[in-house]
Amino acid sequence: MDYQSIHGQDVSSFDLSTTHRLPTVSAAQALEDLGTDPRRFLSTSLEAFDQALNDIIGDSGSASPRPGGLQKGQVVEIWGPPGSGKTTFGIQLAANALRLGDNVLWVDGFHPLSAHRLHSIIDSSQNLPAPVEEVPPFADQMANVRHFRTPTLAHLIALLCKPAANTLPHGTSLVVIDNLSSLVNHAFPKNHEARQAQRGPGPGPSARRLQVLQFLISTLQKLAATRDLCIIILSQCATRMQFERGATLIPAINANTWEQGISTRLVLFKDWVAGSDTVHGAHFVGIQKLNGKTIPGGISQVFAFNIRGDGLIALDLDEGQPTLPLSPNARLKRKLSQTDFDIADSEGEDYGWEVDDELEMPNLPPQWQGSEDILLGQVEDDEVHTEEGSEDQVVQLEETTAPLESDLADLSGDDSI
């Protein structure tokens, strides 16, 4: 009598008829499958930029282009100054995800989403080539958008901490949180009065801010990993004054615990470009952190694009022209002792004047003599002044003693005395 006749078939150990329980796949093959699966990426509609975001595998040189874009299962932060195109960048990502047949969750902070812009970008993207065979109709794409407004940070945490079935339905691939930094700064304002008011026991406002940020970023990481979706955080910028560096733009949320939870960080800004003898403005996007790896130097190569009514349009710039390196770390000023420069000295310097030039100069007018005396003053020697004073005294004594000698001579000649 054997084991199976007594206890039955072994189900707990997943007894299989084949030799191997699970198919074996090499690490190289698994990595290649991960980097070539188009369902793992969300396109930004900027082809060159999408290829730069895919660093899983190198350029294989095959005829078919490799997929690119932002990867699912990560928390991505997009920050920049106002007007740099953060909201439009998020709308373009949402439109590309809807064309794949996925669901999108959009969460508004203080600024509500413009439904007209969302409709126009989704409508204009219908004629573009799609990575899937069947693109859902426009009505179905709009039905796959979940839109929520969170006026405070507490509403946002309650919405994403334990999402309901109607909040994150099955098939959601993108979550966009617009202007998260405004909600954080409104909940924990950075002012002097709040610091002075917190004098009692317990953590202060800055400590509570760090605790909330750590809880929020850990919750977003778990949500992105368990649901296999990409979470986009749109954030504003702040100004930091540094010694001998001046003013520097930094993300509005710059805590260490927050930066450790961000997998990819993109920066948006505007600048001027020259082309065809004209100067016009353009938008730029750069990579500061990609798949958990910080870019050396602070920022990688930037990519130019324009914003139109139908979305993002890539710009082809002349890469042969030299460009200045973009880095948030400004160069420090060197001290004078560390350089080879000398302070100019006026002694022995003629400044290119010749003797002939001085002779040809006209003489000063006579009325300038008094003005020079008033401005510069008359310098006299003390010894000369003393000698002149003594001579005057001798002359005065000789004049006073002369009549006295004549009077004495007359008196000496008188016998009665």
Domains of the chain: 37-57+65-314 (3.40.50.300)
pLDDT digits 0-9 by tens, 148-175? 999 999 999 999 988 888 889 888 999 9
Average pLDDT, integer, range 267-277: 83
Binning pLDDT at 50, 70 and 90, where does residue 344 land?
low
Binning pLDDT at 50, 70 and 90, where does residue 231 land?
very high
User: How far apart, in whole angstroms, are the C-alpha atoms of residue 94 and residue 118?
Assistant: 9
- Closest residue by Cα to residue 68 from 78, 55, 77, 79: 55
- CB-neighbour burial class of residue 237 (10 A; exposed 0-12, middle 13-18, buried 19+): buried
pLDDT digits 0-9 by tens, 348-367? 555 555 556 566 666 655 55
- Closest residue by Cα to residue 171 from 243, 98, 232, 108: 98
- Closest residue by Cα to residue 51 from 314, 310, 293: 314
- Rg (C-alpha) for the chain, rounded Å, is 42
Query: Taking a C-beta distance cutoff of 8 angstroms, is the pair 86, 266 a contact?
Result: no
Average pLDDT, integer, range 279-302: 89
Residue 397 pLDDT more than 80? no
Supply the pLDDT for residue 154.
Answer: 93
Binning pLDDT at 50, 70 and 90, where does residue 416 land?
very low
32-36, 63-67, 380-384: least confident range: 380-384
User: How far apart, in whole angstroms, are the C-alpha atoms of residue 160 and residue 105?
Assistant: 11
Q: What type of residue is 256? A: N
176-180, 302-306, 315-319: least confident range: 315-319
User: How far apart, in whole angstroms, are the C-alpha atoms of residue 389 and residue 381?
Assistant: 12
Under DSSP, the state recorded for 265 is E
Binning pLDDT at 50, 70 and 90, where does residue 111 land?
confident
- Closest residue by Cα to residue 268 from 99, 42, 21, 44: 44
User: Which residues in 252-300 belong to E strands, given as ranges?
Assistant: 264-275, 278-290, 293-294
Q: What are phi and psi of 173, to 5 degrees?
A: -120, -10
User: How far apart, in whole angstroms, are the C-alpha atoms of residue 368 and residue 373?
Assistant: 9
Average pLDDT, integer, range 203-229: 91
Q: What type of residue is 104? A: V
Of the two residues 111 and 236, the one the predictor is more confident about is 236
